[in-house]
Amino acid sequence: MDVVTTVAALQRRADAERAAGRRIALVPTMGALHAGHASLVKIARERADMVCVSIFVNPTQFDDPNDLAAYPRTFEADLAVCRDAGVDVVFAPDAREMYPDGAQTTVEVGALAEPLCGASRPGHFRGVATVVTKLLGAAKPHVAVFGEKDYQQLAVIRRLARDLLLDIAIVGAPTLREPDGLALSSRNRRLDPESRRQAVVLVRALDAAEAAVAGGERDRERLLALVREQIAAAPRARIDYAELRDAHSLALAPERLDDPTVLALAVFVDSAPQPVRLIDNRVLHPRTRGGLSS
């Protein structure tokens, strides 16, 4: 496994791979790797001959400097995860490499980036779209793999690739979960034991909403009330947002659900030394699994 730290070195490697007729897959990460990231590498390996994992804590997508400072950085452990997963190249640039002195260009996606995390974290998706565009330019992949846990991020990146005419397949990977259902996340390691226990309230809320839809519930506000009730059962949890959105456009869901709808959650879980913000989602299907529209 090779570790490269400059864009020029990664581009040379990509050019050589392409000249040899080999397909390249990119898995962008911010490090603190876990089994969920390894699952992305597995999917990438199925679609390419060479797999590159980027490890870069992108400062421009953090609206809170404290959140950026607290983000876990575990580079040596990350390299071990990459070796075990069969990664070919790790791209580990510093901030100056990704944002050279005098850099002025940013990338913005419109309506898809406005609600949910876009509303609660101003500038977040500008930072995401900009760094992903840079990473795609550096790695020159044929395919890039992103986790579905970050549902809005995946939608934004797919839109970006279409709008900028990038000849790159954007692949979504299913969310991996702990045995108790909590979505795997780099942020989970910042939870103290009691906060970790209460954090499962996110998946309980998703399960309750899915069960209600399967039982015939279609009313948007009643479903959201159910979600809020579930989360309120955890004293350390407070909602950043809990919304029902069209699964494709992310427009606000109608008062009565009929088409596939994503239930998107962002919840702060109080933990020392500071709260941890967790996200999760579930696509609800009102027309299926015993939930035929009436």
pLDDT in tens, the chain (294 residues): 999 999 999 999 999 999 999 999 999 999 999 999 999 999 999 999 999 999 999 999 998 898 999 899 999 999 999 999 999 999 999 999 999 999 999 999 999 999 999 999 999 999 999 999 999 999 999 999 999 999 999 999 999 999 999 999 999 999 999 999 999 999 999 999 999 999 999 999 999 999 999 999 999 999 999 999 999 999 999 999 999 999 999 999 999 999 999 999 999 999 989 999 999 999 999 986 544 443
One-letter amino acid of 176: L
Going from N- to C-terminal start, the domains of the chain cover: 2-173, 186-284
Task: Tell me if the domain spanning 186-284 has CATH number 3.40.50.720.
Answer: no
pLDDT score at 289:
52
CA torsion through residues 221, 226, 230, 235, sign: positive
Class of domain 2-173: alpha beta
pLDDT score at 287:
81
What amino acid positions are annotated as catalytic residues?
Answer: 37
Closest CA to 207 of 189, 185, 183: 183
Closest CA to 199 of 271, 283, 114, 115: 271
- CA gap 146, 152 in Å, rounded: 11
Inter-residue contact 128 to 153 (CB < 8 Å)? yes
The tokens describing 267, both together, are: 């919840």
Closest CA to 146 of 167, 114, 168, 126: 168
Inter-residue contact 264 to 152 (CB < 8 Å)? yes
In terms of residues, how long is the chain? 294
Evaluate whether 2-173 and 186-284 have a shared fold.
no
- CA gap 70, 24 in Å, rounded: 32
pLDDT score at 290:
46
